[in-house]
Chains A and B, each alone.
Chain A
């Protein structure tokens, strides 16, 4: 590999993960160091970090991984005919595969005096050293260029005690990332820190004898300068490749496999050109690294896709975030919030109900959320009126109450309520273990590894701790680590290739593991049975214990048993049966659940078949309280008893439960029916909620009373009970066929948008009928009481008895 920078080294690290022994690796690096985090040079200049702190891999790391590093050796020639690279000092190495990762060079203005001593770029450790040295002896620094890098350099030099002037050719700062109001706020913030600005200034000449002393502008004005930092942009460094006759344009031209015009030569990083794009931020470079490593390792051959990137400024105390387009046009709507006194400015640019651009200044807490909405092209019309107030103000997916910036949170503040992880723990793990991604933080700290509701918060801590340029994982997430395919890819393959077994599916999609893992197997099994009801055998070895054993495992290894009580309406006989079972099997706890059922807790596993048998005898079947499927239909008493009731909600609830019991869905599914808009059955926080009104029934969908309360969306109003059942079946079926495994209706509908559901269920009456028909067909196979099979037919008997008994003293 030529180049020892971030993109190249990330490729090597990815390659070592995939195929540690595939290559003998040799690296040429022009700098005399191991590999360091170039994006953290600004904090080094600002005195917030040391060089040691930004080293990614020291020289020992190369030794440990059997990599030959030619540090401090600049490659001068690539001989493609002989497959050799030659360095300045004559060192040469031959290659089978060559990776060019030469990065970029700072663009130096071609003005007279540009080569004087004291005129530098801002690119590497050497430049930072020069700046730090100058700060000790010299006074006046001029930074040319008010982009990201220029402003970071100016801030650092100011903090090192220099008198800093920023010269910029445009009339406002960071014009590619900020609109004018945000740029003005940024300028006044930096001015208040003592940085001076000369805008609309065209540098004409740099003056000095051998060392720079002054700069002259096009209008004839001059200012003094002991140090000039050019930060007007970067240029892909592809001279070497060009000399070797590789196809180059504005960079080394690469295909979606990161291959150059020579099939043995790959290239990644800022030196490449992909389609019409060249790159200067780290996130896409890391994507390229992944792609290139998979190609080099000859494992699952990823392809590179250009994605949007976001920008943050690494100047402590300045919060700035931008992504997408910056200035609106006729086709866009701008939503703007301005509070100049508090230094807050937010602008969201919308086109066709989707976010296409974001500029945030002063409060960037929701930056990564907006960016996610932008990249995923989420329809935001439903949340438009709240959008600017941030994720926390959306009852459904925010972290209620967390309005303060992460920076203001104390280290003791709890980030993950499930696992009791504090902000301090997360920050410490990120720094000490060098964590870069959400998955790594999950693995090491357990934060956000359980219910996931704090994911956004953990990402914020990650972003805050890593500084700028942190970019969260791609929007299209693979099913698990066994594959790079997404949930949607898998579903498509199952139907298109008519795959009907786990084995065939894993073969067809080149699973990396023999038999998957605990994440993918249950998902794949679900997708198979959802696609081919009655035709595919349900693989119990790929189901979580609760669904395998048809009871809920408790912390001590005992189980809880919940018999079905239709619509929450029971009888004295049923209650007597439950009481007798509780006595007979000495069940320690009997509890009424939130779904109006009775829970028998603390049942020993070996007692389960007998407990079920007794409940069966009393006329009760499994309540499926353990399943990713229909759980309960909760009802209020309705018109049958209530003086306000408008319809028979108990009867409706019982009918819906008789229709939907036993069904399996991507995640649990709850229904409620209320007899009037007072809504005593809390139908508006259920997956499917029915609220009776005088003229018929309101149908609500995608509510959730769990981790984050989400109130349902109104789907439509219908007149008859038949329609309630038809819409319910159709909604469950489209959810079953299209949502991702473990994705609740709330998240699914947020992902695909309410208009889509309305189109499928409300507007397309033929489609609705067909969906409902498919639902009812698959119910034929699903409505078998799993308890009866085990209590009286001996299904899975091995689950409930020990194989044998052995003793030490025999």
Chain B
């Protein structure tokens, strides 16, 4: 059963940046947008498994550092015409603390 887990504070993540969370099933990338929204995706591009955490974050999207696929942070899916999705994890903010459902 999945639970909300506190993974850190909002200020741990640079704005327009990301942090990695290690997990028993591979890395999870935590993103913070320019508007201070936080999203979490499996740190693997659906294309060739590039580390999305290393991409440039713009709007609610991240551009993969390997081949520039653009992935929506909201659902983990590649913007058309590319196809495929990275696993998406629900995130919530409470008192500037970041919780991840895992």
Chain A residues engaging chain B, CB cutoff 8 angstroms? 443-444, 449-450, 513-518, 521-522, 541-545, 549, 553, 555, 557, 798, 802-810
Contact = CB atoms under 8 A, between A and B. Distances in A.
A807 B24 contact: yes
B56 A544 contact: yes
Contacts of A802: 19-22, 27
A515 B58 CA distance: 6
B77 interface: no
A541 B56 contact: yes
Grouping DSSP codes into helix (H, G, I), strand (E, B) and loop, the A interface class, with mixed when no group exceeds half, is loop
Contact of B35 (A514, A549, A803, A805): A514
A810 B19 CA distance: 21
Contacts of A518: 55-56, 58, 63, 68, 70
A425 to B, nearest CB: 13
Interface in B2-56: 5, 7-8, 12-17, 19-25, 27-28, 30, 34-35, 48-51, 54-56
28 contacts: A443-B81, A444-B81, A515-B16, A517-B63, A517-B70, A518-B56, A518-B58, A518-B70, A541-B14, A541-B15, A541-B17, A541-B57, A543-B56, A553-B66, A555-B48, A798-B12, A798-B14, A798-B19, A802-B27, A803-B8, A804-B7, A805-B22, A806-B21, A806-B22, A806-B23, A806-B24, A807-B23, A810-B5
A545 B12 contact: no
A202 B90 CA distance: 78
Contacts, number: 97
A428 to B, nearest CB: 14
Given A544-B65, A803-B30, A553 B20 contact: no
A806 B35 contact: no
Nearest to B20: A802
A549 B50 CA distance: 16
A518 B61 CA distance: 10
Given A806-B21, A809-B24, A522 B14 contact: no
A808 B23 CA distance: 8
A420 to B, nearest CB: 13
B65 A808 contact: no
Contacts of A542: 16, 56
A543 B49 CA distance: 21
B100 interface: yes
A545 B65 contact: yes
A449 B19 CA distance: 29
Given A553-B51, A798-B14, A806-B5, 17 more contacts: A449-B68, A514-B35, A515-B58, A515-B59, A518-B68, A541-B15, A543-B56, A545-B55, A545-B56, A557-B51, A557-B54, A802-B19, A803-B7, A806-B7, A806-B24, A808-B25, A809-B24
A553 B27 CA distance: 17
Contacts of A516: 58
B16 A545 contact: no
Nearest to B60: A514
Q: How large is the interface on B (under 10, 10 to 19, 20 to 34, 35 or more residues)?
A: 35 or more
B32 to A, nearest CB: 10
B102 A808 contact: yes
A809 B24 CA distance: 9
A798 B28 CA distance: 15
Contact of A804 (B22, B50, B54): B22
A802 B50 CA distance: 17
A403 to B, nearest CB: 31
Considering residues A444, A541, A804, which has the most beta carbons from chain B within 10 angstroms of its beta carbon? A804
Contact of B20 (A515, A541, A803, A808): A803
Contacts of B28: 806
A810 B1 CA distance: 11
A443 B82 CA distance: 8
A589 B57 CA distance: 31
Contact of A806 (B16, B65, B70, B102): B102
A521 B57 CA distance: 10
A518 B50 CA distance: 16
Contacts of B81: 443-444
A513 B24 CA distance: 37
A49 B55 CA distance: 45
Contacts of A517: 56, 58-59, 61, 63, 70
A806 B3 CA distance: 11
A557 B81 CA distance: 25
A448 B63 CA distance: 18
B12 A522 contact: no
A435 to B, nearest CB: 10
Contacts of A557: 49-51, 54
A555 B47 CA distance: 12
B102 A521 contact: no
A802 B24 CA distance: 13
Given A518-B70, A521-B56, A544-B65, A805 B34 contact: no
A798 B12 CA distance: 8
B57 to A, nearest CB: 7
A546 to B, nearest CB: 8
Contacts of A553: 51, 54, 65-66
B22 A514 contact: no
A544 B67 CA distance: 12
Nearest to A541: B16
A443 B79 CA distance: 10
Contacts of B54: 545, 549, 553, 557
Considering residues B21, B58, B100, which has the most beta carbons from chain A within 10 angstroms of its beta carbon? B58
A522 B68 CA distance: 13
Contacts of A806: 5, 7, 21-24, 28, 100, 102
A805 B23 contact: yes
A250 B47 CA distance: 55
A515 B8 CA distance: 25
A517 B22 CA distance: 28
Nearest to A543: B56
Nearest to A520: B58
A514 B37 CA distance: 13
**Smallest CB-CB A-B distances: 5 pairs:** A518-B63, A541-B16, A803-B19, A518-B56, A545-B54
A522 B56 CA distance: 9
Contacts of A555: 48, 66
Contacts of A545: 54-56, 65
Nearest to A418: B67
A807 B23 CA distance: 5
Contacts of A804: 7-8, 21-22
Given A553-B66, A557-B51, A798-B14, A803 B21 contact: yes
